[in-house]
């Protein structure tokens, strides 16, 4: 039984994240998507932890071996808690590499029983990120297709109120 954890802030989840989750779920027996509270990231998340978890739960409802859980501790401790032995990360353009390499090294140092593995983003999602999606939406651009429809609508609503 191979259980993995796919961590992130997911503010909000994008089609790129969902592609990685789907591909990881196909090679593992079970995948736990770990949604980090990340209260300090980028001036605070746009969506609450419950909203972020809910978006992913509904977008992955068709994947029977995927569960979604919030976490607010060290990733390796969270992985241990849920019985995962592998951390799955998506890797986009080269700019991701340095940060991901550092996190993988530190996590390995913290717990040698947990391995980090990377799945390469497909070209279509190579430059897609939650922060780019928020920036586009904030300036009135359409992010349809880059996030689940429900997230697109929630962003329109949320950003309309703050504009």
Residue numbers at the binding site for ligand PNS (CB under 6 A)? 7-9, 36, 38, 41, 74-75, 103, 106-107
> Among 6, 15, 17, 152, which one carries the catalytic annotation?
17
CB of 84 to ligand PNS, least distance (A): 13
Q: Tell me whether residue 144 is one of the annotated catalytic residues.
A: no
* Beta strands at 3-8 and 66-71: parallel, antiparallel or unpaired: unpaired
Indicate the residue among 105 and 160 with the shorter CB distance to ligand PNS.
105
CB of 1 to ligand PNS, least distance (A): 23
Please give the distance of CA 116 from its chain centroid, rounded to a whole number.
Answer: 15
Q: Tell me whether residue 89 is one of the annotated catalytic residues.
A: no
Distance CA 154, CA 163 (A): 14
Q: Tell me whether residue 130 is one of the annotated catalytic residues.
A: yes
Q: Tell me whether residue 92 is one of the annotated catalytic residues.
A: yes
Distance CA 111, CA 140 (A): 44
CB of 108 to ligand PNS, least distance (A): 10
| Strand segments (E) across 9-162 | 30-36, 66-71, 86-91, 115-120
Please give the distance of CA 38 from its chain centroid, rounded to a whole number.
Answer: 12
Indicate the residue among 9 and 15 with the shorter CB distance to ligand PNS.
9
Which burial class, exposed, middle or buried, applies to 40 when counting CB atoms under 10 A from its CB (0-12, 13-18, 19+)?
Answer: exposed
> Among 41, 58, 144, 160, which one carries the catalytic annotation?
41
Task: Report, as residue numbers or ranges, the catalytic residues.
Answer: 17, 41, 92, 130
């Amino acid at each position: 039984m191979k259980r993995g954890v796919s961590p992130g802030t997911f503010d909000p989840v994008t089609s790129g994240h969902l592609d990685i989750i789907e591909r990881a779920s196909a090679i593992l027996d079970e995948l736990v998507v770990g949604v980090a509270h990340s209260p300090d990231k980028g001036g605070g998340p746009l969506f609450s932890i419950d909203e972020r978890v809910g978006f992913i739960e509904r977008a992955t409802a068709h994947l029977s071996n995927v569960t979604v859980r919030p976490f607010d501790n060290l990733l390796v401790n969270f992985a241990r808690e849920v019985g995962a032995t592998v951390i799955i990360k998506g890797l986009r353009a080269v700019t991701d590499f340095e940060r991901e390499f550092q996190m993988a090294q530190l996590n390995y140092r913290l717990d040698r029983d947990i391995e980090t593995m990377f799945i390469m983003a497909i070209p279509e999602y190579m430059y897609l990120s939650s922060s780019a999606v928020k920036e586009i939406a904030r300036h009135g651009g359409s992010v349809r297709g880059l996030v689940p429809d429900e997230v697109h609508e929630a962003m329109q609503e949320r950003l309309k109120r703050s504009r």
